[in-house]
Structure 1
């Protein structure tokens, strides 16, 4: 990389692209599966439909996503988010334990013939104890319960470092990659200033 990067994005000869200090960048990986893998578990999960409960959805989304700089829904106005969550082809579910929401599973069938795993995650203290695998089993069962030819998801390098490997072990195949550059949501006020401390500020 150049020793003196400017504030303007540009492609350098060595392949690097300078990102403005007010922005963050991530490598996005797209994954898909065309048919469900053999079921691994038929154990039921305590899932609750979130529906149009925006306060519940936003609280769970933040609890899971703030440590990883999830900003998509945080930037969305209430009316736009309500339109999505109220759609009969969108299903947002909370994984509930001891009366507390600890996981989010959001499936989107709005594109004919396919389903998107729109959001999937656990609160930090629930990670690494087998709940993610069971929640994925439920995601697969629900997604392919409808007549689809493709189930897909995307994740990025701002997310949990094990995300891509988890999706691949679940049966997804990586098929595309992209670079996302976006205003730092901590600077725009969409996320708290102390979110995702592992991602440093460049514009103080």
Structure 2
């Protein structure tokens, strides 16, 4: 009986630990949206994005030089555009930092996906390096980038609508250890997709800060 009781306690502890890790995976990315460093526009930037968050750094944010991201444009197809190199979700807040470490350890794919959504929501704040194997002009690069952004916006609108329809059916498990991660993860995806969609609606490719890199 003693061995069975010990085994039962061990199984319970493992279950609770896994549930805490899953909740951390679900809840830490939105917190990172508020506690993470944001890149700020440089003074020499010719285009200023008219979103207040670009002009006013909220309390707790550190002003840094404009970060770089890399977008690859295929020479064979206009539809093949990929966001390759971009900063990962991070935070100086100790609690959020530990939670993100848990997410990165157990679900690195989710962290990378959410990091990409955050970048899409703040594209005007980055210096975008266009990596193309073809010899294209800046005008052509901006045109392709604009088409790509429109496709991203439409897809995120579709995601948001689907998540709005599904979330009410998962709300009843929000207080249940284990299954509750389904609701929280769905909420996190909805939050990031909505932020990206609302930003992509206002972004114009001609106002982005881009530089061409040719192989």
Tell me the TM-score normalized by structure 1: 0.26
State the structure with bigger RCO (CA 8 A, min sep 6), 1 or 2: 1
Larger CA Rg, structure 1 vs 2: 2
Q: Which has the higher strand share?
A: 1
Q: Which has the higher helix share?
A: 2
